[in-house]
Structure 1
Amino acid sequence: MAMLIFAWFGYIGFVHFYIFFRENIKLKLQVWGYDLLLILLFLPNMHFWTSSLGKGSLIFLGISLFAYSMQFPMKRLFAMLLGSTIVFMIRPHMFMFLGIGAIIGYFTGREKVPLYRKLLVYAAFTAAVLMLSDQILAVANLNEDDLTGSFDRFATKRAEGLSSAGSGVDINNYPLPLKLFTFWFRPLFVDAPGALGVFVSFENLIYLLLALKIVDKDFIPFLKSSSSLVKMSLVIFISSSVALSFVMSNLGIAMRQKSMVMYFFFFVIMAFMEYKQLKKMGITKEGEAITNVPRKRLRLV
């Protein structure tokens, strides 16, 4: 019964991510004749970790509620508060990454937001971080007087402990780009730890092929003019990936942990793919030709 309940939490998380994508990606993007979003939502590894009995399904639910609420934060305040609370109670550091991403996206997005609203959001987040800083730092036993040194010691100790497992890899001396590549795209066939690793390698290959989509001269111009949600997603994905890559020396743990943030990366990629298609259609203002199409707003909470 408990397993069924936690699997249901993961399912609700996928539903909210589906709404998040559908409300913000207006074109139906296809790969090999299939809906790309549906392919991404049914990736086996994502469902494996988000349906398990444990924190994975709950943290995924909390993150999805947060993402879902960002389209209409005031109308979906309950979803935002519930999602933020779930994330904070389970992984306080992830709550910080969500907040940082939301703030940066809100301040730099193409939407015109009155200055007083920006200041209110900034003040609210700053106050929340200050009040909850002790709990956030306590997760990794960080010393506020020596954050860099204490984080380095924690990361080294954590990485050494995880690397002793059967699927461990020694990434302590890797440069940051290689650490990120390991976190995002490994195992990749040649270093697959067992049959499950080979299976996951196919999924990681899909991640890698999708990531190549943004290796494009138009990506930077797109990013400069993108919405607050795109910038929020990119900041959350990059910041959490950098932090987690320093302590993930176990490929099995990495496969589980990255399920929390990969959908933010997928959102950035799909938004860029939509931008490219609109550009080919000769549409200079994003969404100009399709904003008149009636769209049904999907609501859950």
Structure 2
Amino acid sequence: MFGALALVITLLFINQGLFSFMGKRHTFFSKKLMNGLYFYHLLFFGVYYVYALVNRSDSHMYFLRPQSISRSWSSFFGTSTTFIDFLSYPFINYLNFNYEMMMVLYAWFGYLGFVFAYLFFRENIPIKIRVFKNFDFLILILFLPNMHFWTASLGKGAPIFLGLMMFAYSITNIKKRFITLIIGSLIIYFIRPHVFLFIAVGTVLGYMTGKEKISFGKKLLIYVVMIGGLMLVQDQILAVAGLEGSDDLVEDFQDFSETRSNKLDNAGSGVNMAAYPLPLKLFTFWFRPLFLDAPGILGLIVSVENLIYLLLFLKILNKKFLKFIKKSPISVKMSLTVFFLSSLAMTFVMSNLGIIMRQKSMVMYFLFFVIYYFLAQKKYDKIMWKRRKIKQQKLKDELVIGN
């Protein structure tokens, strides 16, 4: 554990350098908040570490596999699980990181995801919003326990979350953040190729329908890069479901999703989602477990968080939201598309509440962004309406005095 503690302190100093860099580019950046978030995230590293000692955890296999003496570093290069082994290999075999140190390292990757999420939200939504009367919306979602639990350990969860938030942060200013965008895209693709598909589609749709006036050349560049990228990696994406040689993608995907769902249903804490109508499938993925069907103590804790998700989601179930979406910017439409497509795909293959709790942590921040932007836009419109009324009243008063 001494090595893990030393790494925690080293990463704390590295954070300060990153914060100084980010603070020069964003006047709103709060080092105090981000340092507090770092220690909060480390708390969940500790919780997950204890959890992994007494429960089955994939983190142990992720630590053991790269130590295979019969395989070279390059042999681990690939997509999905093997990429995590590739990423871990030099730290384990060259720097002699032990299991605890690898857990800390990946917890830090997850933490950086929250830093980029903070930048993404604050840069695009400068207006502060309070929900449930007294809670700052951004602070609330940055400190949600389930999000930290599944991004504080050795595995896919932490780096994929980092990649997604790097991408989201970069896409609003591609010219200045091109390197960050590429790194985020590569992380997403190599860990979950199908999620890269949703990101690419969401980005293209966002640029096609966003309210911003964007030059034809810039739009064309985005379309060529994203669509061209998808064409180059389509076989790898289809290979996730074993469909790379399929002649009938729709029918073969249905067979794959049914088989996958049955396997997960038998893995414990299963729900028969295959028999659910689509709205109930989506509800299950987004908001369950909800107390009565919670699998264990962890499920009860997650149920509280799911209730928060549900209450936040209810805030956009009105006619004003549809009008807002039509006029919303690229970042909102991209986030909504990514969230919905990811959710839709996962509902066909998920039927285990334990796995659902982990998987949805990837995409919930995109929903939070849409809700936050909607509430901020409502508040801004209300402020501007009041200002116009005050201005009109002043003009009336001046006319009366003049007469």
TM norm structure 2: 0.69
In terms of mean alpha carbon deviation, does 138-147 or 60-69 score higher? 138-147
Equivalence for 1:137: 238
Match of residue 271 from structure 2? 169
2:174 to 62, 73, 80: 73
2:187 & 2:226 partners in 1: Cα distance? 17
Distance 1:103 1:145 in 2: 26
CA contact (8 A) 2:109 2:162 kept: yes
User: Bigger shift: 101-110 or 123-132?
Assistant: 123-132
| 1:228 matched residue in structure 2 | 330
Alignment RMSD (CA, Å): 1.2
2:344 is equivalent to residue 242 of structure 1: yes
AA partner of residue 55 (structure 1): K
Give the secondary structure class of the aligned counterpart of 1:271: helix
2:122 paired residue among 15, 22, 25: 22
- 1:115-173 deviation per Cα after TM superposition (whole angstroms, max 9, x unaligned): 23222221222211111111010011114421101111110011000001221111111
1:298: which partner in 2?
none
Q: How far apart are 1:283 and its partner, in Å? A: 4.6
Would the alpha carbon gap of residues 161 and 207 (structure 1) be closer, same or farther in structure 2, given more than 3 Å must change? same
Distance 2:183 2:341 in 1: 22
Which of 98, 102, 114 matches 2:203?
Answer: 102
Distance 2:173 2:218 in 1: 14
Equivalence for 1:126: 227
| Structure number, greater radius of gyration | 2
Distance in 2, Cα, partners of 1:166 & 1:131 = 38
**Aligned equivalent of 1:254, options 356, 361, 381:** 356
Correspondence for 1:265:
367
Give the distance between the partners of 2:114 and 2:221, measured in 1 at CA: 31
Tell me how far apart the structure 2 counterparts of residues 123 and 77 of structure 1 sit (CA, whole Å).
15
Q: Which 4+ residue blocks in structure 1 deviate beyond 6 angstroms?
A: none
Could you tell me how far apart the structure 2 residues matched to 1:279 and 1:76 are?
30
1:59 and 2:197 equivalent?
no
2:378 to 273, 276, 301: 276
User: Partners of 2:169 and 2:226 in 1: how far apart?
Assistant: 18
Per the alignment, residue 188 of structure 2 pairs with 87
Are residues 1:35 and 2:124 paired? no
> What is aligned with 2:150?
49
Cα distance in 1 between the residues matched to 2:335 and 2:210: 11
Cα distance per residue 1:70-105 (max 9 Å; x no partner): 121111011110010011001000001001111110
1:111 matches 2:111: no
Q: Which amino acid aligns with 1:35?
A: D
Contact 2:200 2:227 in 1 (8 A): no
The structure 2 residue matched to 1:158, chosen from 249, 252, 260, is: 260
In 2, Cα distance between equivalents of 1:25 and 1:123:
29
Contact preservation (8 Å) 2:312, 2:371 = yes
Q: Distance in 1 between matches of 2:326 and 2:361?
A: 27
Structure 2 residue aligned with 1:148: 250
3-state SS of 2:175 partner: coil
Distance 2:217 2:103 in 1: 46
SS in 2 for 1:129: helix
The structural deviation recorded for 1:282 is 3.2
Change (3 A) 1:280 1:151: same
* Aligned-partner residue type, residue 321 of structure 2: F
Q: Which has the higher contact order (CA 8 A, sep 6+)?
A: 1
SS at match of 2:274: coil
Residues 178-189 of structure 1 aligned to structure 2 (within 5 Å): 178-189=280-291
CA distance, structure 2, for counterparts of residue 242 and residue 199 of structure 1: 25
Name structure 1 gaps, 5 residues minimum: 285-301
Gaps of 5+ in 2: 1-100, 387-403
State the percentage of identical aligned residues.
56
State the one-letter code of the partner of 1:131.
Answer: L
Instruction: Write the letter of the residue equivalent to 1:45.
Output: N
What is the number of equivalent residue pairs in this alignment? Answer: 284
Q: CA deviation at 1:69?
A: 0.4
* TM-score, normalised relative to structure 1: 0.92
Separation in structure 2 between the aligned mates of residue 92 and residue 262 of structure 1, nearest angstrom: 18
